[in-house]
Structure 1
Amino acid sequence: MKPWVFLDLDGTLIDSAIGITRCIAHALERVGHEPLPEAVLRSWIGPALRTSFTPLLGDAARVEQAVAFYLERFEDIGWREHSVYPGIAEAVGALHAGGARLCLVTAKNEPHARRILEHLPFGGLFDGIVGATADGSRSHKPQLVAEALRRTGATPAEAVMVGDRHLDIEGARHHGMASVGVLWGFGSEDELRAAGADRLVTEPAQLHA
């Protein structure tokens, strides 16, 4: 049985900070909330949108408005505002050539994740894509990992989760899966160690090993 590698998207395969933070800022402006510092906006990369908007906006209807405004800009231009991390294309290629089967597992809405992956030079190497549902009913990493296991038919022992935030590591641990934290994304070494990552890597070339 070939092993499965579940890969996060934002902060793992692509640097999407510009697109995500601009879409958040656009949403907050449209609902009449004051701007947030750039550091705060960057901290929102990883969690589900509603997870971040709810403590700030409180009212459920206002949260849904903000999500809609975020998606409005994201679907227009935000999905293209990213860059592939240096060495990622080669690392993904090496994993695939080495016999691993690849599945994207992201809190980004699944249609958006699919569109982005299809435009990446290595997107065709992936055997699966699992993303969040539009209504947020499937948006947290344990749910996403569970769906990836269901779709791929893999057992936790046959898969490993690779990501840059504590959410990725916690999602893997929830299912008894191995996890690898990457240090070129949006999470810190302390964050990933505290979450219980089995291994940390500092550059994409280390993923295959």
Structure 2
Amino acid sequence: MLCLFDLDGTLIDSELGVTACIRHALTRLDVSTPADLREWIGPPLRQSFAPLLDHDETRIEAAVHYYHERFTELGWREYAIYPGIADMIASLQTAGHQLAIVTSKPHRHAQPIVDELPFGNHFEKLYGPHPSSSHSEKASMIAAALADFGASPKQTIMIGDRRYDMEGAVANGVAGVGVLWGFGSREELEEAGAHAVIEHPERLGALLAV
């Protein structure tokens, strides 16, 4: 089985780094920061900044620049690995599954994080959009993974915590597995077409064994 994993909200809790970088960007633009930034974790940055910046393309690009400015220096280190993830990844590899990461985080930001994860070497490939992209491109990245691994949709699953992961899976005929330890809700995941929703990492191995 080819197991494709989202990064933020699925393998790592990146809330601290992501929200600190959002605040940095908005402060640089003298814009008030929303009280709740959890919904910002997952969607493309430009999509989230747009309403606050009156859909002004110049200011949106400036906000993205300021976000990346802080993330490159500090934000990429500000995360925690969710409990049980390391054991789950080790058990999946032992069982013979192929592993890859499909993330909305730009590849250049995701790669240093994956390189430092204690289980990062278990992932054969990392898929992430170009920093200039305004889309998360989950569907196209999943399609690229299927082609690279020569895997059929029926022998592939996409594991993630937001609707973008599930929608990308559905678009490719892949089973989406939603996780509840991240930033999305059960309702969001099921409405987006999740094949299954799990509450703990150890449930994934049992799900694949069925």
TM-score range normalised by the length of the shorter chain: over 0.9
Identity, in percent, stands at 48
Aligned length: 205
TM-score normalised by L of structure 2: 0.94
- The yes-or-no answer on 1:168 pairing with 2:174 is no
Q: Is the 8 A contact 1:48 1:139 kept in 2?
A: yes
Match of 1:121, SS?
A: coil
Structure 1 residue 187 displacement after superposition: 0.4
Report 1:121-160 matches (<5 A).
121-136=118-133, 139-160=136-157
Which residue of structure 2 lines up, in the alignment, with residue 49 of structure 1? 45
Q: Is the 8 A contact 1:47 1:140 kept in 2?
A: no
Give the RMSD, CA atoms, in angstroms: 1.2
- Amino acid in structure 1 at the alignment position of 2:129: A
Structure 1 residue 149 displacement after superposition: 2.3
- The yes-or-no answer on 1:110 pairing with 2:103 is no
Cα 1:130–1:61 change in 2 (3 A) is same
Distance 1:115 1:168 in 2: 22
- Amino acid in structure 1 at the alignment position of 2:131: A
- My pick for the range that moved more, 198-207 or 50-59, is 50-59
Q: Is the 8 A contact 1:181 1:192 kept in 2?
A: yes
User: Unpaired runs of 5+ in structure 2?
Assistant: none
Distance 2:151 2:68 in 1: 32
Distance 1:106 1:133 in 2: 11
Distance 2:192 2:79 in 1: 26
Match of 2:83, SS?
A: coil
Structure 1 residue 156 displacement after superposition: 1.7
| Match among 23, 40, 65 for residue 68 of structure 1 | 65
Q: Is the 8 A contact 2:13 2:82 kept in 1?
A: yes
Distance 1:198 1:124 in 2: 28
User: Unpaired runs of 5+ in structure 1?
Assistant: none
Structure 1 residue 142 displacement after superposition: 1.4
Q: Is the 8 A contact 1:48 1:140 kept in 2?
A: no
